[in-house]
């Protein structure tokens, strides 16, 4: 797979995740050197959902990112467009509500979730800015957004070493442990091509979210962005006749 692999169509993206679904969680843990559990705890704390609230976990895959909410008595809806990932998730956690849906055209009513979150998924969405607008639409006014995504290490010597790890070490490791190593070449390339922390903050603002903040994890390998849906909708701009 070469750089052209970054220009995926939605159906190719879903097929790629269908392919990696059976070993997805194991390979993730190995490649992130066991950091994913700590990152996930921080995301759940940032969402801060109360029992009985409704949370959308978008691009939920096999539901690993959704499980802590269900365990805490939160009504989590795990939405993804890869049926392969959803099937693995449903088999493992039949109690979680798995829903097939595209992040850019969500099958949910306006203002229907107390919070929306997306972990390691926004980077894979073909039109991520549209997904941020859709998440705004389905979240209640005053509700939260939490986005966890691979990002750019803030300390530049470390950024160089990390970038080398991504491009040189990760694909050979993936070849040994993953069923579809090409998917992990895509992973490395897509992380390098993803906007940095400030640019993603700008996207959140442009989509209509407010009070945007972010926190770097593991030196910026991952960034967790938080934002709130305005309580009152901004007045639409009406063009003069």
- Positions touching ligand SAM (CB under 6 A) are 10, 13-14, 17, 59-61, 64-65, 80-82, 85, 102-104, 119-121, 124-125
Contacts for 164 with CB less than 8 Å, ≥ 6 apart: none
Supply the minimum distance, in Å, between the C-beta of residue 198 and ligand SAM: 23
Residue 80 labelled as part of a binding site: yes
| 70 or 156: CB nearest ligand SAM | 70
Supply the minimum distance, in Å, between the C-beta of residue 173 and ligand SAM: 17
What distance in Å separates the CA atoms of residue 78 and residue 63, rounded to the nearest whole number? 6
| 63 or 153: CB nearest ligand SAM | 63
Question: Which residue's C-beta sits nearest to ligand SAM?
Answer: 61
| 25 or 111: CB nearest ligand SAM | 25
Supply the minimum distance, in Å, between the C-beta of residue 122 and ligand SAM: 8
| 163 or 190: CB nearest ligand SAM | 190
| 10 or 22: CB nearest ligand SAM | 10
Supply the minimum distance, in Å, between the C-beta of residue 231 and ligand SAM: 28
What distance in Å separates the CA atoms of residue 51 and residue 80, rounded to the nearest whole number? 23
Residue 62 labelled as part of a binding site: yes
Residue 102 labelled as part of a binding site: yes
Judge whether 154 and 231 are in contact, CB under 8 Å: no
Supply the minimum distance, in Å, between the C-beta of residue 71 and ligand SAM: 15
Residues comprising the binding site for S-adenosyl-L-methionine?
Answer: 62, 80, 102-103, 119
Residues comprising the binding site?
Answer: 62, 80, 102-103, 119
């Amino acid at each position: 797979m070469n750089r052209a692999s970054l220009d995926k169509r939605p159906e190719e993206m879903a097929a790629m995740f269908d392919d990696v679904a059976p070993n997805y969680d194991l390979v993730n843990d190995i490649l992130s050197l066991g950091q994913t559990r700590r990152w996930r705890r921080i995301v759940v704390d940032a969402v801060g959902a109360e029992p009985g609230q409704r949370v959308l976990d978008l691009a939920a895959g096999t539901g690993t990112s959704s499980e802590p909410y269900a365990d805490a008595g939160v009504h989590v809806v795990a939405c993804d467009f890869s049926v392969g990932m959803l099937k693995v998730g449903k088999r493992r956690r039949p109690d979680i509500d798995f829903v097939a849906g595209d992040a850019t055209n969500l099958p949910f009513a306006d203002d229907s979730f107390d919070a929306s979150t997306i972990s390691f998924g926004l980077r894979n969405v073909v039109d991520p800015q549209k997904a941020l607008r859709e998440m705004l639409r389905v979240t209640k006014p005053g509700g939260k957004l939490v986005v966890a995504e691979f990002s750019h290490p803030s300390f530049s010597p470390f950024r160089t070493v990390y970038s080398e790890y991504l491009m040189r070490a990760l694909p050979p490791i993936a070849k040994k442990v993953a069923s579809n190593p090409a998917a992990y070449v895509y992973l490395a390339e897509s992380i390098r091509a993803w906007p940095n922390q400030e640019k993603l903050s700008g996207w959140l603002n442009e989509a209509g979210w407010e009070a945007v903040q972010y926190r770097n994890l593991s030196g910026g390998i991952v960034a967790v962005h938080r934002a709130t849906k305005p309580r009152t909708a901004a007045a639409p701009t009406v063009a003069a006749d």
